[in-house]
Amino acid sequence: MGAFLSYLAEVANGSTNDPGLGDIPESCVACVFLYLTPPQICNLARLNRAFRGAASSDSVWQSKLPSNYQDLLDLLPPQRYQNLSKKDIYALLSRPVPFDDGNKEVWLDRITGKICMSISAKAMSITGIDDRRYWNWISTEESRFNVVAYLQQIWWFEVDGMVKFPFPADIYTLTFRLHLGRFYKRLGRRGCSFEHTHGWDVKPVRFEMSTSDGQQATHEFCLDENRFIDVSEHHKRGCWIEYKVGEFFVNESVSTTEIRFSMKQIDCTHSKGGVCVDSVFIVPSNLKERKT
């Protein structure tokens, strides 16, 4: 054991003629990095100078960026990305890039480099949103946009939205992020009030999605059905839930895709209320499955 440790020390100090990691050409290391994820590359960059140089190579990080990364950069002021290396551009785009007056965000998944998007309730058309008897805007840290729409009571519940974006070729999943009950903080603890929560167990909410090339999807969910429980066997009241609307496919020949989405419960025989509408997520389907 002592002899082996002495050998390792000699390799680290360069006092042995045996080849080591430091003898691998930087170009060879860069070829290996093409098959690794960004977090793995950053970890290996700490090994030695050759690995550190390969981990900063533009050719390596160019392969990790999506084909349309320039479209994301165009959403930023030019001074934010001019003269940046491809590695720094990847790091920049891994953070949310706001657009449409800050009501929409797009970013790269840090591990896969795939494009993800979130759309705030502020960017959607909500029936009765300007009438304080029905809806209120609530400031909160529980939303990436720091605000959610809270419904007190209404008979005609309808939320519509649309986004047009040059998504890269992939299969994407669209979900609505909702919360039954009004949450609050008191003495540093999170609480939830269900004073206005009613009507969601009478009829299901209809979720719809369509794309500019004719793809469509529809799902129906009873938001307050007792049998809807999570993996911990707790009722979903008081929790943020993502409701899957459907999937759509983007092929390489499509330059820009327009997606329209909605959720509605327009049976006026009963009122409904006590729900928070946060946002819509559009995420590559295999990434959504991995996180789930």
CA–CA separation, 38 and 203 (whole Å): 46
Coil, strand or helix at 120 = strand
pLDDT at position 235: 64
Position 100 in a domain: no
Q: Model pTM? A: 0.86
Find the DSSP H helices in the chain: 2-13, 26-33, 38-44, 49-54, 58-64, 69-73, 86-93, 285-291
52 and 193 inside one domain? no
Is 253:166 a contact under the CB 8 Å cutoff?
Answer: no
Which residues, 6 or more positions from 96, have their beta carbon under 8 angstroms from its beta carbon? 105, 106, 107, 118, 144
Residue with tokens 């002495």: 6
Q: Which residue has the tokens 């419960």?
A: 265
* Residues 149 and 245 grouped into a single domain: yes
Domain that holds residue 262: 115-227+235-287
Question: Each residue of 227-268: pLDDT tens digit?
Answer: 444 444 446 788 999 999 999 999 987 789 999 999 999 988
Residue entry with tokens 């007056």: 101
Q: Is the pLDDT of residue 192 over 50?
A: yes
Q: What was the pLDDT predicted at 9?
A: 42
Same domain as 255, residue 122: yes
Instruction: Summarize pLDDT for 62-74 with one digit per residue, the tens.
Output: 999 999 999 999 9
User: Dihedral (C-alpha) 204, 225, 263, 96: value to the nearest 10 degrees?
Assistant: -160
Is the model more confident about 205 or about 22?
Answer: 205
Mark whether 36 and 139 lie in a shared domain. Answer: no
Which pLDDT score is estimated for 44?
87
d(CA 238, CA 234): 10
When mean pLDDT is compared across 13-22, 63-72, 82-91, 122-131, the lowest value belongs to 13-22
Is residue 12 domain-resident? no
Q: Give the pLDDT score at 228.
A: 47
Most trustworthy range by pLDDT among 81-95, 185-199, 276-290: 81-95
Does 133 share its domain with 256? yes
Residues 140 and 257 in one domain: yes
Q: Is 35 part of any domain? A: yes
Q: List the single range of 54-63, 181-190, 221-230 with lowest mean pLDDT.
A: 221-230
Question: DSSP for 20-87?
Answer: -GGGS-HHHHHHHHTTS-HHHHHHHTTS-HHHHHHTT-HHHHHHHS-TTHHHHHTTS-GGGTTT--HH
Residues 125, 76 share a domain: no
What number is the average pLDDT over the span 271-281?
Answer: 96
d(CA 109, CA 39): 11
| Residue 105 belongs to some domain of the structure | no
| 38 inside domain | yes
Residues 243 and 280 in one domain: yes
Do 172 and 269 reside in the same domain of the chain? yes
Q: Residue 177 maps to which CATH number?
A: 2.60.120.260
Structurally, how many domains does the chain consist of?
A: 2
Same domain, 53 and 142: no
Least confident window among 79-83, 144-148, 258-262: 79-83
Residue 123 has pLDDT above 50, yes or no: yes
- Residue tagged 């419904």 (tokens): 151
Q: Are residues 214 and 172 in the same domain?
A: yes
Average pLDDT over residues 92-112: 96
